[in-house]
Structure 1
């Protein structure tokens, strides 16, 4: 039911986060992307990025002197989907950039975050624990939280886990 409600995109108007956690392969990114597609169909601008890519973009903007312009652009997007939060621990400086983005978007724009980490483990991704607590406090406030469970959809079907590759070739056309 929650996924169907999120597909209506009211959370974007509410300007609240959606936090999706669960093991690898349980459909977190798929659900986040599907919600993003619903938002686009409703006329919202949406940005989908991984945590690593987002932080690389911010770092590149800083290196070229365009950090303020980049941050303002990120703040203005009605929905940002940040995939794979905590897959790689944040480095000092990255935690500040991530905090600044979340703090500026807080109650101004919606953010979806997916993570393989349990919600209780998200703080471990931050080298500065106080900064992490502050960031997570903003993310959790009024957030919709979705926890997925189960086996990976990527597990090979039909057996032992030894995946077999099958190549499908297009039919030859008559000349």
Structure 2
């Protein structure tokens, strides 16, 4: 008799998870044997789960990850040099919470971007803020923002996320303006957020990509001194998958 007024009140209060749980319990004949405390506990669990899911969906949309990847789907059988123990440790997100960095390098097609997005997806699930950019598009966005007055706001947005993913770094040398933009980003995030970079270019060649010695010293010192590294190798997974499908 009180079911509908109760549901209306729960929705009015914004407790949609509890409303969903109430409907489920009310339709379950065995729920009648539960005590009031057990009912309340189950309703609160429904509400907490619904709120966690909503926060995850909001963070995932804001992250704009390139691939719908998850750590549960990582392929450790491929011969590409991926250390399972290290990756699972990184998947806990402790390195993000302690504001360390991660560099994933390797040839084209070995899954660098996919692994980065899987870690980004897990961070969203852990209620951490994430932002993904392909490096060429990041510099294009910054150049456009500089022209229309949004430059400072965009830098602040990039600076405050828990995890910034910069995908596809290099191999073209940076323009002087791009090198300065990169220093601004890395400087803003130093000891305040974690940064993940993927690149086909080995780390020992990054200095020449930045080009300007003083800027390169400043960027790489801040970026690499506390960074975890994953160095992948092997043939392209895309080519292997295409060959398997053809066969």
Same fold (TM over 0.5): yes
Determine the structure 1 residue equivalent to 2:132: 48
How many residue pairs align between the two structures? 161
1:2 is matched with which residue: 74, 86, 89?
86
Q: Unaligned regions of 5+ residues in structure 2, if any?
A: 1-84
Determine the structure 1 residue equivalent to 2:164: 80
Deviations 1:27-46 (A, max 9, x none): 11111000001000011111
Determine the structure 2 residue equivalent to 1:146: 230
Determine the structure 2 residue equivalent to 1:58: 142
Distance 1:6 1:89 in 2: 30
Q: What secondary structure does 2:104 align onto?
A: strand
* Displacement after TM superposition at 1:107 (Å): 0.7
Moved over 2 A (4+): 156-159
Q: What secondary structure does 1:55 align onto?
A: helix
* Displacement after TM superposition at 1:79 (Å): 0.7
Q: What secondary structure does 2:201 align onto?
A: coil
Alpha-carbon spacing, 1:75–1:158, altered in 2? closer, same or farther (3 Å): closer
* Displacement after TM superposition at 1:127 (Å): 2.4
Determine the structure 2 residue equivalent to 1:12: 96
Q: What secondary structure does 2:197 align onto?
A: strand
Distance 2:243 2:153 in 1: 51
Determine the structure 2 residue equivalent to 1:67: 151
Determine the structure 2 residue equivalent to 1:89: 173
Alpha-carbon spacing, 1:152–1:43, altered in 2? closer, same or farther (3 Å): same
Distance 1:65 1:131 in 2: 24
Distance 1:52 1:158 in 2: 30
Using CA pairs under 8 Å that are at least 6 residues apart, name the structure with larger relative contact order, 1 or 2. Answer: 1
Distance 2:115 2:171 in 1: 18
Determine the structure 2 residue equivalent to 1:104: 188
- Structure number with the higher helix fraction is 2
Scaled by the length of structure 2, what TM-score is found? Answer: 0.62
Q: CA RMSD in A?
A: 1.5
Distance 1:143 1:98 in 2: 17
Does the alignment pair 1:33 with 2:122? Answer: no
Scaled by the length of structure 1, what TM-score is found? Answer: 0.87
Deviations 1:41-94 (A, max 9, x none): 011111111111111111111101121111111101111100011133211110
* Displacement after TM superposition at 1:158 (Å): 4.0
